[in-house]
Amino acid sequence: MSLFHVFPGGIHPREGINGKAVTCALPIEELPQPSRVAIPLLQHIGTPCKSLVVKGDKVKVGMMIGEPVGFVSAAVHSSVSGTVVDVQPCILANGLQQPCVIIDNDFKDTWVELTPVAEPDKLDGKAISQLARNAGLVGLGGATFPHAVKYSLPPDKKVDTLILNGAECEPYLSADHRLMLAYAREIVTGAQTLQHALKIERVLVGIEDNKPDAIEAMTKACENDPTFTVTAMPTHYPQGGEKQLVYSLTGRTVKSGGLPLDSGVIVINVGSSHALYRAVYEGRPVVDRVVTVSGCVKKPANYLVRIGTPVEWLLETSGGLLPQARTLLYGGPMMGMAINREDIPITKGCSGITALEKSSALENESNCIRCGRCSSVCPMCLVPSVLDKLMRKGMYDEAERQGVMNCIECGACTWSCPAKRQLTQSCRTSKKVITERRRAEAARQKAEEARRAAAVAVQEEAK
């Protein structure tokens, strides 16, 4: 049993317990397939995929329809069998348009031939990374970072710990919880495969202690493997935040701007581990995922949903929104995105659809009273009240100096603000502006260098 570390800050929202109680006892059920899916070609952080299909093409389930482009990318596969209607931009949860492959379902559910890996034990880092890329594996916890990149360890980095993230600290969601109960064995096997391929010494499984049955199931599933340790972590939002989790389980602090990799740790979500298992042992790419539908809906549930299914279809199957629903969230209430249309497709990073009665946007903000609550709950030890003021004054440089880029947008500050200020949003805005500035600066420097090089070349020629 490793020593447990308590990360700074954090909150204990009541909804974390009450909200989860709605769905945590409901087993995963397979959602009937919709008649039409819209599969975005960008479902990960990185470069969008190149479409491999055109209008009229017949596709089968599991067929690659989006080819990964560049290093930071992951393939996209068809989640139903049928005919490609079109490849056209659709609005996604973040409000932006992305090209999507629209497929009409023939309901035959014909799969492409799946070829499991012949000798999973012989997979090495390179092979498993390639496999992850082709199977469309991304962080299914929500960050959607391509796993092919995660598995490609630079030769100078030593990784000794693999962390399985089963914290699921987001209120209302129980997708990972149910997944651990249903597929503990597969999740553990997936992690073992990765562990052997990357030669990682130990695996730490972190689960919040509000899921005792999941802790038991996971402990049981890995009891024969002494390199596994399952830890019951205090229920403490944002326990599942990558940096918080690494600190909680290993006591190591991920440096500002760094990756867990720099601290010798790789973190993957339990859902991703399950997807990896399926890719290796069943040859099955990511075509579905578990989504919790909860809150103000008639019949809350945990569904196994084909990627590209419209939110509308989930809500319909769940009996529709209750009349009092005011906000519809793509994800959970702390970090999810509010959406105002129901035709948005489910992507790989969506672990829940939550409908809430309240809307925080309708609360009037008042002056900051400098109570310091935001700062005391910030898991990154920032002072959101000050960052908020700096953003409003356009003082982005000072905000950067005060560490705004460390913000993980967990929402704890806004949650605890008595003046109801949108502190998280301010940090988000600052981060966006600073990132854009950095990009512009990099581009300017590059242009400058090119100009200089050209000037030097001209001089040389003159000589």
Q: Which is nearer to other proteins, 181 or 246 (CB)?
A: 246
Strands 161-166 and 202-208, by their bridges, are: parallel
- CA 339, 344, 350, 352 torsion-angle sign: positive
Pick the piece of the chain touching other proteins (CB under 8 A) from 175-183, 219-227, 273-281, 364-372.
364-372
Burial degree of 277 (CB within 10 A; 0-12, 13-18, 19+): buried
Selected from 129, 210, 269, 385, the binder of other proteins by CB under 8 A is: 385
Number of residues interacting with other proteins: please give it, by CB under 8 A: 74
Query: In the numeric block, which tokens belong to residue 135?
Result: 């199977």
β-strand partners of 51: 66
Tell me the Cα Rg of the chain.
23
CB of 299 to other proteins, least distance (A): 18
Q: 422-451: which residues touch other proteins (CB under 8 A)?
A: 422, 424-425, 428, 441
Selected from 386, 390, 391, 399, the binder of other proteins by CB under 8 A is: 386
| Pattern 270-309, other proteins, x by CB under 8 A | ----------------------------------------
Selected from 11, 42, 102, 173, the binder of other proteins by CB under 8 A is: 11
Q: Which is nearer to other proteins, 381 or 450 (CB)?
A: 381
Q: 388-427: which residues touch other proteins (CB under 8 A)?
A: 402-403, 406, 409-412, 414-420, 422, 424-425
| Pattern 197-236, other proteins, x by CB under 8 A | ----------------------------------------
Amino acid at 386: V
The edge-to-edge listing of strands for the beta sheet with 161-166 is 228-233, 202-208, 161-166, 265-269
Q: Which is nearer to other proteins, 182 or 337 (CB)?
A: 337
Q: Which helix (H) or strand (E) holds 166?
A: strand 161-166
Closest to 170 measured CA to CA, from 338, 16, 12, 18 = 16
Selected from 126, 199, 220, 255, the binder of other proteins by CB under 8 A is: 255
Q: 232-251: which residues touch other proteins (CB under 8 A)?
A: 243, 247
Does residue 5 interact with other proteins by CB under 8 A? no
Closest to 194 measured CA to CA, from 163, 220, 217, 223 = 163
Selected from 326, 395, 433, 434, the binder of other proteins by CB under 8 A is: 326
Q: Which is nearer to other proteins, 148 or 338 (CB)?
A: 338
Q: DSSP string covering 67-111, please?
A: E--SSS---EE-SS-EEEEEEEEEE-TTS-EEEEEEEEE-S--PB
Give the Cα separation of 420 and 102 in Å (integer): 41
